[in-house]
A and B are shown apart, each in its own frame.
Chain A
Amino acid sequence: MFRIADILVILFFLVISIVLIFKPYGYEAKKILLVIEQDSFYIPYKEGEYNLYSKVKDLYGKEHPAYKSIDYTIKDNKLRVIHSDCANQVCVNTPAISKCGEAVICAPNKVAFIIDCQNILKGSK
């Protein structure tokens, strides 16, 4: 079933995947990069339980009513989305994240929490 060429091709894809998983995603202090549709914001990485809508409104004065229902918590240095009223509950079902480059992504609702340690927004400007 397997020939040498097969093993080489599969190994090539495995190596690329593993490099992408374990490559360092920056060395700066952790920040939460919140992506909401066309907007991106930085939120401090501090312990506590927050409502996404209130947090963004407090920090930036911007209102995204669609995300009033999203609550997240940072406990023991781990971020987890604890409540969302969307249909799929992808973000709620994602395990807690804590390392640079990890993310909680809900693509259908265009929301993502990314732990950023490399100033993605600064780098993209």
Chain B
Amino acid sequence: MKINIYILTGLMASISIILGVIENFIPSPVPAIRLGLSNVPILIMIYLAGANYALLLALLKAFIVPIFSANIVFKFSLSVPATLISFLFMYITYKLFKNSLSVVTISVIGAVAHMATQIVIVSIFYIKGLLYTNYTGILLLSAVITGVLMGIISYRIINHRQIGEMFARI
């Protein structure tokens, strides 16, 4: 039955990539703020399928989404490390605290790790003075808010009976 989980991982990766591309077109009050919709499938896979498949999905998303953006090199330099570090933080938190923390908090931790990684990369390689501005706080606040929203969506999907049963059958 292993083939099924690979098909499902591919489907989830497709959803994540499509959401990642679509959210580039959603306007935000401050540039660089994203909803993080593509993080929802990664969270679902961590909870319902396991770390290996979630990592596979995260890698596919990190490498493919930047191809569909205007600045490929810039987006690659942010997307790949940010997605991997965000995945790492979410997985470690899930492993250590899955009984005491809910999916919403794990989503927030992932979003903050993702944003913090991007801020560090931009301040090292692109804009040296970024850390001296209040932009950092605005971006972190946006990560917390979007992390909560995406966490609630993930919670609803993970606790959906039919989706749970579908993953259990695989």
Binding site for B on A (CB under 8 A): 1-3, 5-6, 9-10, 13-14, 16-23, 25, 33, 35, 40, 87-88, 90, 93-95, 99, 101-103, 105, 107-108, 110-112, 114, 116, 118, 120
Q: Which of B4-12, B35-43, B122-130, B162-170 contacts A (4 or more CB under 8 A)?
A: B122-130
A13 touches B127 (CB 8 A): no
Residues of B within 8 A of A19 (CB): 137
Contacts of A95 in B (CB 8 A): 29-30
Look across to chain A and name the residue whose beta carbon is closest to the beta carbon of B112.
A13
Q: Are A25 and B134 in contact (CB under 8 A)?
A: yes
Size bracket of the B interface: 35 or more
Which among B71, B128, B132, B144 is the interface contact of A14 at CB below 8 angstroms?
B144
Establish whether residues A10 and B148, one from each chain, have CB atoms under 8 Å apart when the complex forms. Answer: yes
Contact A110 B71, beta carbon cutoff 8 Å: no
Interface window among B14-22, B84-92, B97-105: B97-105
Min CB gap A80→B, angstroms = 14
Question: 11 new A-B pairs (CB below 8 Å) besides A23-B134, A40-B129?
Answer: A3-B100, A9-B105, A10-B144, A13-B112, A13-B144, A90-B31, A94-B31, A95-B29, A108-B70, A108-B126, A114-B132
Contact A10 B108 (CB under 8 A): yes
* Closest A residue by C-beta to B109: A9
Flag whether B59 is at the interface (Cβ < 8 A).
no
